[in-house]
Amino acid sequence: MNVCKTAAACGRWFVGRTPPRPRMPARCLWTKFRANNFGAYEVVCLGNVSDPRPVPEYVTLPSYAKTGRPVDEPDHDRPPEVQNAGQIEMLRQSCKFAKFVLDSARDRLTVGTTTDDLDRFVHDLIIDNNAYPSPLNYRWFKKSVCTSVNNVVCHGVPDDRPLVDGDLISVDVSVYLNGFHGDCAATYCVGDVDEPGRKLAKVAEKCTYAGIEVCGPGKSFADIGRAVELYARQHDLSVVPSITGHGIGTYFHGPPTIFHSTLHVYPGVMKPGMVFTVEPVICQGDGDVEILEDGWTIVTVDDSRGAQFEHTILITDRGYEILTV
């Protein structure tokens, strides 16, 4: 789950273009069908969202679980935290578990399954392992996982829309285990996705790795955005510049802010012990996005599809380590 939340909460991080503007209310039956240069697929609107799922008393809670307000997150103007060996080991466990949940959810992505069904599965799996689903009630997010389908590029709220043949769905899993968060995401094809959609997912994954591969001690944070943007442009796709990665630890989001394009630069260089996410959103259109009336769901203005892959990485003495494997 990336650092951009609602427009009110994180408008300062929407850079390069104006912040996503709220779209006028327009609930639908998930219906518009798109057939143009972007491909053939359903354009997704908001569905009906069920109540948040309960959390047993024995589960260790993050700071915001009851109030919705994260009180432990460092200010983004502070230097990124350097984790010690003990903290790094705890982060490894959280990230490994997050990836396990993500991989387990993949098998549930079949035609006819609703994203609310997926939320139930993810929530129960996390709770059954004595962990907490990090998105749940984070700044009042109602669900335990983010599910972003087709033109929804980020922070999709699970609802009653059934997945249909040809959908692209990005699943963003974050967990809070033993006092530390782990965060990862991937985009999957449901049924028979058209060639432009398959290309988008493939390039988006390679963009993430292009950003990761330039990481290491002494490297500039700006190198990530340059690498991601270059790879996307080489394949005639765009980066959504307003969606960023973030530092992670005992807090869900903190410095550094990881920009995935060249429109803005986070200062400084990477140091051993820093832990952060690389999670670019790549889209078929021009990268302009807006927020729907639920205050969370981010969609492309031109209804083009997006895809996202995310890993949490550790900067080591010799390079980097991907923790979400």
List, for residues 266-276, the tens digit of each pLDDT value: 999 999 999 99
Confidence of residue 1 (pLDDT cuts 50, 70, 90): confident
Q: How far apart are the first and last CA of the chain?
A: 17
The response to whether 181 counts as a known ligand-binding position is: no
pLDDT of residue 6 exceeding 50 = no
Question: What pLDDT shows up at residue 34?
Answer: 60
pLDDT in tens, 104-153: 999 999 999 999 999 999 999 999 999 999 999 999 999 999 999 999 99
pTM above 0.85, yes or no: yes
24-57 residues labelled b (16+ CB within 10 A) or e (exposed): eeeeeebeeebeeebbebbbbbbbebeebbebee
Task: Tell me what pLDDT residue 310 has.
Answer: 98
Q: What is the mean pLDDT of residues 226-233?
A: 98
Average pLDDT across the chain, whole number: 92
What whole-number distance in Å separates Cα of residue 260 and Cα of residue 211?
8
pLDDT in tens, 71-81: 999 998 999 99
> In terms of DSSP H, where are the helices of the chain?
7-10, 85-106, 115-128, 195-213, 222-234
Among residues of the chain, what percentage have pLDDT more than 70?
90
Given a contact cutoff of 8 angstroms between Cβ atoms, the answer to whether 188 and 308 are in contact is no
CA-to-CA distance for 111 and 109, rounded, in angstroms? Answer: 7
Closest CA to 145 of 81, 80, 98, 213: 98
Reported as a pLDDT band with limits 50, 70 and 90, residue 18 is very low
Q: What pLDDT sits at residue 9?
A: 34
Structure confidence by residue, pLDDT tens digits, 149-184: 999 999 999 999 999 999 999 999 999 999 999 999
CB 214 within 8 A of CB 227: yes
Contact 197, 39 (CB under 8 A): yes
Closest by Cα among 204, 290, 275, 287 to 245: 275
- CA proximity to 9, closest of 140, 194, 175, 128: 140
Amino acid identity of residue 178, one-letter, is N
Run of H or E residues at 320: strand 320-322
User: What mean pLDDT do residues 196-218 have?
Assistant: 98
| Six-digit token string for 115 | 């994203």
pLDDT at 219 over 70: yes
Q: What is the DSSP string of 31-42?
A: --EEEETTEEEE
Which of 27-36, 98-107, 253-262, 282-291 is predicted with the least confidence, judged by mean pLDDT?
Answer: 27-36
User: Is position 165 annotated in a ligand binding site?
Assistant: no
- Is 172 known to sit in a ligand binding site? yes
| 288 contact partners, CB below 8 Å, separation of at least 6 | 17, 300, 301, 302
Q: Which of helix, strand or coil describes residue 181?
A: strand
To the question of whether residue 279 is assigned a binding role by annotation, the answer is: yes
Task: Determine the length of the chain.
Answer: 325
Please, what is the Cα angle at 90 between 89 and 94, to 5 degrees?
A: 120
Question: Is residue 30 predicted with pLDDT exceeding 70?
Answer: no
Contact 57/224 with Cβ under 8 angstroms?
no
C-alpha 25, offset from chain centre:
24
In 3D space, the residue among 200, 263, 257, 202 whose CA is nearest the CA of residue 229 turns out to be 263
